[in-house]
Structure 1
Amino acid sequence: MKLWRTIQFSIALVMATSLPVGQAGARAGAATPNAAEVSGRHPVLMISIDGLRPDAVLDADKHGLKIPMLRSFLIGGSYAQAVINVNPTVTNPNHTTLVTGVLPAEHGIYNNRPFAPAAKLPKSYSSYAQIKAPTLWGAAKAAGLKTGSIFWPVTQRATDIDFNLVEGNDEDDAKIADDAIALIEQKNPELLTVHFVNFDHQQHEFGPFSAEGNAALERIDTALGRVVAAYRKTHSGGVVAVVSDHGFDRVTHQVNLNAAFVDAGFIKLSGKGDEQEVTSWKAFVWYVGGSALIVLQDRKDQKTKASVSEYLQKLAADPANGIERIYARDEYANRGLPPAAEYVVAFKPGYRMANAMTGPIVKPSKGGAHGAFSTRTVRADMHSSFFITGPGIAAGQNLGVIDMRQIAPTLAAELKVSLPAARAPVLPIRGQ
């Protein structure tokens, strides 16, 4: 039997429950590899490839991608033509929706980082306790199942995850596969979530469908094949879902909206050069990426609200600023965005927000970005992916365009666990 040399459980992989060793061992012994399948319960392995656009798999030849494992899902399983993800189209909110089935307004993870106008770089949402909605891990644990996770966002100190790896090198795809295989073979969780993030990082630096990005996805495809093969040996009746959180766009320009807000007097700074700090503000731009959220310090201040609205329209009128549209609160009220956001600034393809507080508003840039305001018909390049295989899963079935909120209840149904907050309909993945 392999040793836990890859994860080094004594340091990095934490038993999230407070069960004594004897009780934990009893639980582990009670769940054999096939016991979950006798009652119609199917163990679940959900693997997220951060930043995977569906067309990377659906049109792999067009993009010169050699990803046989991912392409095998198109023949052997069911898949979405596209997944309408939640806004903002960034990592943390969407990964949380993947395990809760609800919008950010319900689960509480509104962006990658909380709003903190005085901070140079606000800390990311990371603590599991910040999630305000029931999760798949919690539902599985309540049903007496073992749960595991590797590098899934917003899972630090997760009490519902029995085996939880959150520290280490999340760039090493082969190592992540080693860790997942070791966890599958030795701890055998009925629900396991795994997050590969290196593909996202390469696309940020070099752009979507760059040579570097494609090479990263091909490495992950190899790692995915190894993990799935190990999973099939342990859970022959389990289902494997491959998901993503958002798509990507190639960047040509960055827009420093807060620098514009400083120029307009909505933000006051003190100090000089890079040492300048925010001393006061009436309106501030909450960074997203391909979009931006505008927050008013006092939402009852109608004078400032009117001034901000007028100023945003002035910025949008100049094509050089790359603003596609300004959305007012009532235009996105049902999309789950933060209640603090008064406006959403949607950038044109090729433009993204940057964080400088001084200097030019618009600068040339390169690489890739996501976070654009996206709907079923707007910015399809932000849409994410869903593929699923397993015994009884309909083969070669195109599910069409689906809502990300359908994924969690679908997997809950496979696990035969209750996730009542997830109200979206279950996907028709099983053959008749």
Structure 2
Amino acid sequence: MSRLTNHLIVISFDCLSALDFPLLQEIPHFQELLQKGSYCKNVETIYPSVTYPCHATIVTGNFPNKHGVINNTFIQPGNPSPDWYWLRRHIKGTTLYDEAKKAGMTTAALLWPVTAKAKIDYNMPEIFANRPWHNQIAVSFMNGTPIYQLDMNRRFGHIRKGLNQPELDDFVLESTVQTIKTKKPNLLLVHFTDLDTQRHYHGFSSDEAIAAIHRHDKRLGRITQALKETGIYEDSTIIALGDHSALDESKAIKLNVKLRENGLINVNSRGQVTDWKAYCKSCDGSAYIYMKDEKDIATKETVKTLISNLLKDPENGIETVLSGEEAQAIGADGTAAFMVEAQLGYYFKEQLDGNYIDNITVEDVRAKKYTFASHGYSPKKENYSTVLMAVGKGIRQNVIIPAMHLVDEGPTFARLLGIDLGETDGKVIHDFLNV
């Protein structure tokens, strides 16, 4: 299979929404991309529409139930900071970067989710120091490419302020520009989270979110300029995409409070979980409900009755409930007993105490207890699409794709690089490609 490009640069602007499209058409660097390239402003995301499953889908072309990254974090009942699906081994099957490397291409990834310990030539994985005795820089070095990361930190580490935004994305940008100029990778994956952060803590249409989109425009411009200065722009393809949208919320649902009241979760005097029969695992706008023992029919019936009763009143915040089989059929985790979807204005949290429903206050959000907007909702929610824009070598000009799915992105990117992801849930969007 012939390669259509020599350098594929995939830039994920986390939480970029189809609703942002009118603004993207007005600001200079996105505008230039749209005028010279092709796009789809109706990309359906996956379920649950959270960051790690989305990014695993983008590089595999598969739904979460196939690639195995079914949520951001693991089921660790009662843990206020569960571990994330950080590691490459959490993805089942092959990926875009695996196949590129097998084909002899140079690969690079900056804060791309689920790439810790991946075989990527220049890898700065997204992974957090999640234990009191962990050091952030040491954890990153151990799970990525040490010398490369040391060089980027030596050059640009002064820009960062921990994990705070926009400084983190500014650090990633400078590292991306340096990587383009010195490494000229054939595949470059970059993940920016500034917009996602601002939407979480200030709201979907907040001034802070709009300012983040303008910063992203400048970042896109800097990356484009770096390709030109390095002399590889004409041999490059730039993909700018979102992974999901977001929706504002004002109420938090704590379903575990109800499960605990029904004797399905036990805690000690310090509030720690000592045992459980059923547990609500949040995906923000949706949630899985797991049984500790899948054969425990009595507990499953208790939970089913509980949810059915909650569904009767919209004030309880639950819009729909799916069985595990129904969740499996749409690409989510079929090992869950149930999957529940939140009403507009609500999202799920895993806390075990307090009220079943909490009204979200400014003080809560400042304390990072809750957020003002989130994702994880069903892709069928109205005004919840994301976008994909492409320009450069191998891309046709001025083609508008009316609709596509997130699973289609990986196979399409693989075709640009002349590689194959094998059997995928998604398909190549040939209308994008200048074959």
TM-score category of the 2 structures, normalised to the smaller one: 0.7 to 0.9
Contact residue 396 and residue 433 of structure 2 kept, 8 A: yes
* 1:323 pairs with 2:318: yes
Which one of 154, 157, 176 corresponds to residue 172 of structure 2?
A: 176
Higher mean Cα deviation, 140-149 or 104-113? Answer: 104-113
CA–CA distance in structure 2, aligned partners of residues 79 and 336 of structure 1: 25
Residues 361-396 of structure 1 show CA distances to partners (whole Å, capped at 9, x for unaligned) of 11112611111122xxx2144322211111352222
Aligned residue number for residue 236 of structure 1: 234
For residues 261 and 67 of structure 1, what CA distance do their matches in structure 2 show? 49
1:191-340 counterparts in 2 under 5 A? 191-232=187-228, 233-271=231-269, 275-340=270-335
Number of positions where the alignment pairs a residue of Structure 1 with one of Structure 2: 385
SS in 2 for 1:410: helix
Matched, 1:384 2:348: no
Q: What one-letter code is carried by the residue in structure 2 that aligns with 1:429?
A: F
Matches of 2:280 and 2:81, distance apart in 1? 13
CA contact (8 A) 2:52 2:72 kept: yes
Whether the 8 Å contact between 1:370 and 1:382 is mirrored in structure 2 is no
Alignment of 1:96-115 (within 5 A): 96-115=56-75
Q: Please give the alpha-carbon distance, in whole angstroms, between the structure 1 residues aligned to 2:221 and 2:279.
A: 45
Matched with 2:111 is 151
Q: 1:198 to 1:41 in 2, by over 3 A?
A: closer
Structure 1 residue 269: Cα displacement: 1.3
The TM-score with structure 2 as length reference comes to 0.84
Q: Is 1:373 equivalent to 2:372 in the alignment? A: no
Task: Show CA shifts across 1:271-326 (max 9, x none).
Answer: 1xxx3011111111011101111101122222211111010011121222111111
Partner of 1:398: 400
**1:426 aligned onto 2:428:** yes
Q: CA deviation at 1:40?
A: 4.3
CA displacement at 1:66 relative to structure 2? 5.7
Query: Residue in 2 aligned with 1:341?
Result: 336
User: How far off is 1:87 after superposition?
Assistant: 1.2
Cα deviation digits, residues 16-75 of structure 1 (max 9, x gap): xxxxxxxxxxxxxxxxxxxxx9x6444200000001102202x228xxx96322233322
Alpha-carbon separation, structure 2, partners of 1:124 and 1:368: 20
- Tell me the residue number matched to 2:12: 48
- SS for the counterpart of 1:93 is helix
After superposition, where does 1:359-370 map in structure 2 within 5 Å?
359-365=354-360, 367-370=372-375
RMSD of aligned residue pairs (Cα, Å): 2.0
Matched letter for residue 265 of structure 1: G
Percent same amino acid at aligned positions?
Answer: 30
- The one-letter code sitting in structure 1 at the alignment partner of 2:373 is G
What pairs up with 1:1-16 in 2 under 5 angstroms?
Answer: none
Secondary structure of 2:235's aligned partner: coil
Question: Per the alignment, do residues 307 and 77 of structure 1 end up closer, same or farther by CA in structure 2, a change over 3 Å counting?
Answer: same
Which shifted more, 352-361 or 415-424?
415-424
Structure 1, unpaired ranges of 5+: 1-36
Q: Kindly indicate whether the alpha-carbon contact (under 8 Å) linking 1:185 and 1:234 is maintained by their aligned counterparts in 2.
A: no
CA contact (8 A) 2:326 2:334 kept: no
Q: How does 1:115-194 map to 2 (within 5 A)?
A: 115-159=75-119, 161-166=120-125, 167=140, 169=160, 171=165, 172=167, 173-194=169-190
Question: In structure 1, the residue corresponding to 2:19 is in which secondary structure?
Answer: helix
Q: Which consecutive residues of structure 2, in runs of 5 or more, have no partner in the other structure? A: 126-139, 141-156, 361-370
